[in-house]
Structure 1
Amino acid sequence: MPLPSTDVLLVIDVQNDFLPGGALAVPDGDAVIAPINRLAAHMPHVILTQDWHPPGHASFHATHPGKAPFDTADLHYGEQVLWPEHCVQGTRGAELAADLRAERAELVIRKGCHPGIDSYSAFLEADRRTRTGLGGYLAERGLTRLFLAGLATDFCVLWSALDARRAGFEVLVVEDAVRGIDLDGSLARAWEAMARAGVGRIASGDLASLA
């Protein structure tokens, strides 16, 4: 039995810079590709997100003299983790993974495009005011249940899941199709925060039970 037509697979930031050998590699990050490809073949709708930073982005440690990767800085919207330069617009690192079956994607949301604002969430950038437009797109299409996959569990997947719940969507994270960075216990905290918000967890092999 097919899944309801209101279901959508939201694939977060499966890009070269987040894969092994990339500028900000997520441990075992390439392991998400195979389950995502299997999911995409059966989902009624597929949407992708893509980190898409201009050079000298405010989230890069090199933009802040004297700062090292994973230090923090106080920006106009609050504390910001500073990352190695990654997913710069037009570079190979920003490209979607070559093995990702992206041809069924109906929409690609590019985020983090504003020079002074980072964006973990697929819905709201880090100032918590600037919208990506994804929420409106989902509402206009009548898509109500989101299955989240991709990178990284404790940052962009987490923020996207929480914002999706705040916007009223049903959300399930596909456990075998995500991987985390885990900075000082951030992965465990992410799962706890998502559970408190009503985000479900499912394995890709159990999808048929939801049809």
Structure 2
Amino acid sequence: MTANSQKIPLTSKDALLIADVQNDFLAGGSLAVPRGDEVIEPLNAYIECFRRLGLPIFAIRDWHPRGHCSFIEQGGPWPAHCIAETRGAAFAASLKLPPDVQIVSKATRTDTEAYSGFSGTDLHDRLRQRDVETVFVGGLATDYCVLNTVRDALAFGFRVYVLGDAIRAVNLRSEDGEKAISEMVRLGARLISQDRIVV
């Protein structure tokens, strides 16, 4: 699907949401997203744009307890990943998160899965406290945490831009990523790339 070609000036009502750019989802990790490392360079460019204007940046992360319900050993679909306080749960070292980044930890309870950055977290309240109206969402993975975060953001009434050059899909089925993008656009999100941002 082609990214929207309109120019988008950043404003004080905007926030950047970065989903799950953690070691376990990158090359060599226990649940590596194919080509997941490719999101880091464009995300760093977005981070620089938002940082330059002093706009809020939120880094969402899986922060699982051991024995989390999503793990294969507990009957879930995924290998153990992003266990709190381990290297696999750390953000990628090459992701240039600013010192004042706001970290959002999800799926922190053993018995609860959470693909969305809003699920079981205070992300919505923190965005409202900053008078945010528009969120720009990128990271991993297109067909899971990005998709579900975008769904919830739209349901909460935020305007949503999906960073098409800074997302990659798991693609358990080869078309999952494209289906997720189509679903996000159908729900009202706009697909863009970094060259559309005006700082």
Settle same-fold status: TM greater than 0.5. yes
Tell me if the contact between 1:47 and 1:105 (Cα under 8 Å) persists in the aligned partners. no
* 1:134-178 residue CA offsets vs partner (Å, 9 max, x unmatched): 111111110111000100000000000000000000001111111
Aligned to 2:94: 99
Residue number in structure 2 paired with 1:53: 64
Partner residue of 1:206? 196
The aligned amino acid for 1:155 is Y
Q: 1:188 aligns with which of 153, 167, 178?
A: 178
Deviation at 1:2, TM superposition (A): 6.4
SS at match of 1:96: coil
Q: Is the 8 A contact 1:8 1:47 kept in 2?
A: yes
- Quote the residue 1:25 is aligned against: 32
Instruction: Describe the shift of the 1:2–1:171 C-alpha distance in structure 2 as closer, same or farther (beyond 3 A).
Output: closer
* Residues 117 and 149, structure 2, Cα contact 8 Å, conserved in 1: yes
Question: Does the 8 Å CA contact 2:9/2:197 hold for their aligned counterparts?
Answer: no
CA positional deviation for 1:106: 3.2
**TM-superposition CA deviations, 1:166-209 (whole Å, max 9, x none):** 0000001111111111122321221121111101000111112x
Matches within 5 A, 1:63-82: 63-64=74-75, 82=77
Gaps of 5+ in 2: 1-7
Q: Which has the higher contact order (CA 8 A, sep 6+)?
A: 2
CA contact (8 A) 1:48 1:105 kept: no
TM normalised by structure 1 equals: 0.85
In the alignment, which residue of structure 2 is the partner of 1:68?
none
Q: CA RMSD in A?
A: 1.4
* Aligned residues between the structures: 187
Moved more, 162-171 or 199-208: 199-208
**Alignment correspondent of 2:129:** 140
* Identity %, equivalent residues: 41
**In structure 2, the residue corresponding to 1:205 is in which secondary structure?**
helix
- 1:146-157 aligned at under 5 Å gives the runs 146-157=135-146
- 1:146/1:171 contact within 8 Å kept: yes
Residue 163 of structure 1 pairs with residue 162 of structure 2: no
Give the gaps of 5 or more residues in structure 1. 65-80, 125-130
Distance 1:105 1:31, change over 3 A: farther
TM-score by length of 2: 0.90
What residue identity is the alignment partner of 1:8? A
Runs of 4+ in 1 over 4 A off after TM superposition: none
